[in-house]
Chains A and B, each alone.
Chain A
Amino acid sequence: MKNKDGSTLMIVMAVFVLFAVLAAALSVLFFVNLRTRINEIEERALYIELENDVYGFLNEFNPENEVPGYIEVPGYIVEIENVDDNYQINYQIIFTNSDNQKIRAEILVSFPNGNYQILSWRKG
């Protein structure tokens, strides 16, 4: 359809299409941003859960019965290593979420008097 002065409806339509494309692009950007936030929330929650489970694990941990290596804990891969610092044997315990390996903590623990003492805690 062409107007008598030469302007066409196509120009108007093109502006609308451009507007629609921009709106769609902005929507995608928003929802990608939301998705990232949802993932961050999920990871933070999983990390709190991991911390709770690490303390639960340490409450039951008996250094006399544990040998270095991987052990099975529901929901986690747990790796235990002995670390000899000349004075005592410490344990490096790496806790990794089985489903999301970004959720991970490396802790160094000693057991003076049978009670655990966390010497260091590294996240991720």
Chain B
Amino acid sequence: MMKGKKGFTLTEVLVSVAIAGILVVAVATVFIRYHRLENRYAVKENILTEIENIYEIFTGSPVDFETNLSDYYQREIEFSEVETHLFETHLYYDGDFRKLSDSETGNYLLLAYSQEENLYSLKITPHHRGEIIKFTESEFLREIRVGGNNEE
């Protein structure tokens, strides 16, 4: 049996454990914070991917947007008329904006689609947990005058 001749004293062990504890808590805090931030930015990336896809569909053929959007998502996307020539729909997503949700959630894209004469416009407003997510100072609004080939 050891009788104080080998190993560390109790004070040394307590100090070491205290330092180790502080380090572990600090590192865990950093990792948890990083993980949360990473999730937040993953959501933003997914939102942008959806917006890019929707604008590609719109730009390809503004006239057939509603039909093409339904084809893309393989489900009936219904727009309701909120004002004359202005139609809106909500695309609801799961928590991280990877796929469409079957039920209403706080994560959605509000699509406002309008047509006046030959000018078509589409405004996309992303919402996450019910709050509007802003990426730039201005809104995402694309207006296309039809009559030409707008393929990029």
Contact = CB atoms under 8 A, between A and B. Distances in A.
B76 to A, nearest CB: 26
Q: How large is the interface on B (under 10, 10 to 19, 20 to 34, 35 or more residues)?
A: 35 or more
Contacts of B142: 51-52, 55
B6 A45 contact: no
Contact of B55 (A31, A51, A118): A51
A30 B34 contact: yes
A59 B51 contact: no
Contacts of A102: none
B16 A44 contact: no
Interface string A60-88: 00000000000000000000000000000
B150 to A, nearest CB: 6
Interface of B: 5-8, 12, 15-16, 19-20, 23, 26-27, 30, 34, 37-38, 41, 44-45, 48, 51-52, 55, 59, 119, 135-136, 138, 140-152
Interface of A: 1, 3-5, 9, 12-13, 16, 19-20, 23, 27, 30-31, 34, 37-38, 40-42, 44-46, 48-49, 51-52, 55-56, 58-59, 112-118, 121
